[in-house]
């Protein structure tokens, strides 16, 4: 079956620290991979995505590279800010049966950045 495993939180960092949130997946077929972010009091929103192997998604200083050989899509940022404090969800989408596909999420990782 299809599944997503991401590192457990919470993660607490100081401002300007380097961030890595690990995500690995299991999928049949060729999934697209996503990172969604949920800021306090807000709905989930797409942060970045990659649709094929070796693609790199990037947005707001965050990056993630689709690694087929290690079935991973780790999220990284070189210098975090207090405003990056949020819950981050790794997700995959696999097309099936001609439908638009379901989105399967990891459990989420809460990031807190201290000034």
Partner 1 sequence: GAGVSQSPSNKVTEKGKDVELRCDPISGHTALYWYRQRLGQGLEFLIYFQGNSAPDKSGLPSDRFSAERTGESVSTLTIQRTQQEDSAVYLCASKGGGRYNSPLHFGNGTRLTVT
List residues binding partner 1 (CB under 8 A): 32, 34, 36, 42-46, 49, 51, 89, 93-95, 97, 99-108
| Residue 56 CB, nearest approach to partner 1 (Å) | 15
Shortest spacing between CB 30 and partner 1, in angstroms? 10
Q: What are the tokens at 11?
A: 């993660």
Smaller CB separation from partner 1, 97 or 115: 97
- State the minimum distance, in angstroms, from the CB of residue 94 to partner 1: 7
Residue (17 or 38) nearer to partner 1, CB: 38
DSSP string covering 48-91, please? EEE-STT-EEEETTEEEE-BTTTTB--EEESS--GGG-EEEEEE
Residue 24 C-beta: closest distance to partner 1, Å:
14
**Is the separation of the CB atoms in 14 and 112 below 8 Å?**
no
Closer of 78 and 107 to partner 1 (Cβ):
107
Write b or e for each residue in 98-112: b if 16 or more Cβ atoms lie within 10 A of its Cβ, otherwise e.
eeeeeebebebbebe
8 versus 16: smaller Cβ distance to partner 1: 8
Asked if 89 and 106 count as a contact pair (C-beta separation under 8 A), the reply is yes
């Amino acid at each position: 079956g299809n599944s997503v495993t991401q590192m457990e939180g919470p993660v607490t960092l100081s401002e300007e620290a380097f961030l890595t949130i690990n995500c690995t997946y299991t999928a049949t077929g060729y999934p697209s991979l996503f990172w969604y972010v949920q800021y306090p009091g807000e709905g989930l929103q797409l942060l970045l995505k990659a649709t094929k192997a070796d693609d790199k998604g990037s947005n707001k200083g965050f990056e993630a590279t689709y690694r087929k050989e290690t079935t991973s899509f780790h999220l990284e940022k070189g210098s975090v800010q207090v405003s990056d404090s949020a819950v981050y969800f790794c997700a995959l989408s696999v097309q099936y049966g001609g439908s638009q596909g379901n989105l399967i999420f990891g459990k989420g990782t809460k990031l807190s950045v201290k000034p």
